[in-house]
A and B are shown apart, each in its own frame.
Chain A
Amino acid sequence: KQEVTQIPAALSVPEGENLVLNCSFTDSAIYNLQWFRQDPGKGLTSLLLIQSSQREQTSGRLNASLDKSSGRSTLYIAASQPGDSATYLCAVRAPGGTSYGKLTFGQGTILTVHP
């Protein structure tokens, strides 16, 4: 059974810092990996999606990397801002068959960026 772990559980940084969020998964047979953002009391917003054949994806100040063989992904946020404060979730997608489309989520990292 796939298990996804995110470290750290919470992170508080001053504005302007570069930071790294970590995600690890136990079964390397994945279709893709996604990073989501969740604001308090809200749904999830997809930030980046990395296919299993890719090594990284970038969007603005965000960069996500994937090392499938070691079961790890990192989300790098450059020049953090207070508006980046949210919970960040990583999720891996199972391969096809009856598990088609199924995501397994980590428990998230709560990020606080203070001015």
Chain B
Amino acid sequence: DVKVTQSSRYLVKRTGEKVFLECVQDMDHENMFWYRQDPGLGLRLIYFSYDVKMKEKGDIPEGYSVSREKKERFSLILESASTNQTSMYLCASSPGGSGKDTQYFGPGTRLTVL
């Protein structure tokens, strides 16, 4: 079974802190994604990566950056956390290539910024 793990289930940070959210997949997937999920707004794509060191902006990249130094790991960085970044963050990965692949999601990290 594909496994996507996220470093924390719950995280509480203060405004202005630098925050790292880590995601690891164990199936040698090409593509990795970061979403945030908010009530009334659904899931929105922040960034995605289709290869090591490659990244593409999603729909809401402002205030975020990402890093993919190794194929299995995709990190989301909040350079200076703000209260409007309080949300559920979901990481996903997919094999890529065939066009028939689905995305596999991690359990999510619920981030609260005070």
A side interface size, CB within 8 A? 25
Determine whether the beta carbon of A100 is less than 8 Å from that of B42.
no
Contact check, A101 vs B90: say whether CB atoms are below 8 A apart: no
Q: Residue of A at shortest CB range from B30?
A: A101
B interface residues, tally (CB under 8 Å):
27
Q: Does A25 contact B (CB under 8 A)?
A: no
In the complex, which residue of chain B has the Cβ closest to the Cβ of A47?
B102
Contact of A43 among B56, B58, B99, B106 (CB under 8 A): B106
Interface-lining segment among B11-19, B43-51, B67-75, B79-87 = B43-51
Contacts of A91 in B (CB 8 A): 43
Q: Can you list 13 A-B contacts with CB-CB less than 8 angstroms, sorted by A residue number?
A: A32-B99, A32-B100, A41-B108, A41-B110, A43-B107, A100-B50, A101-B48, A101-B50, A101-B94, A102-B58, A105-B43, A107-B42, A108-B42
B interface: dominant SS: strand
Contact (Cβ within 8 A) A103 B107: no
Q: Is A12 an interface residue (CB 8 A)?
A: no
Contacts of B104 in A (CB 8 A): 46
- CB nearest neighbor in A for B9: A41
A49 touches B106 (CB 8 A): no
Considering the complex, give the chain B residue whose CB is closest to the CB of A31: B99
A 48-75 contacts with B by CB, 8 A: 49, 51
Say yes or no: A49 contacts B100, CB within 8 Å: yes
Query: Which residues of A approach B to under 8 Å, CB–CB?
Result: 31-32, 34, 36, 41-46, 49, 51, 89, 91, 96, 98, 100-108
- CA A49 to CA B44, docked complex, whole Å: 19
Question: Which residue of A is nearest B102, CB measured?
Answer: A46
A-side contacts of B42, CB under 8 Å: 89, 105-108
Q: B4 — which chain A residues lie within 8 A by C-beta?
A: 43
Docked CA distance A60–B97 (Å): 28
Contact across chains for A46 and B108 when beta carbons are under 8 A apart: no
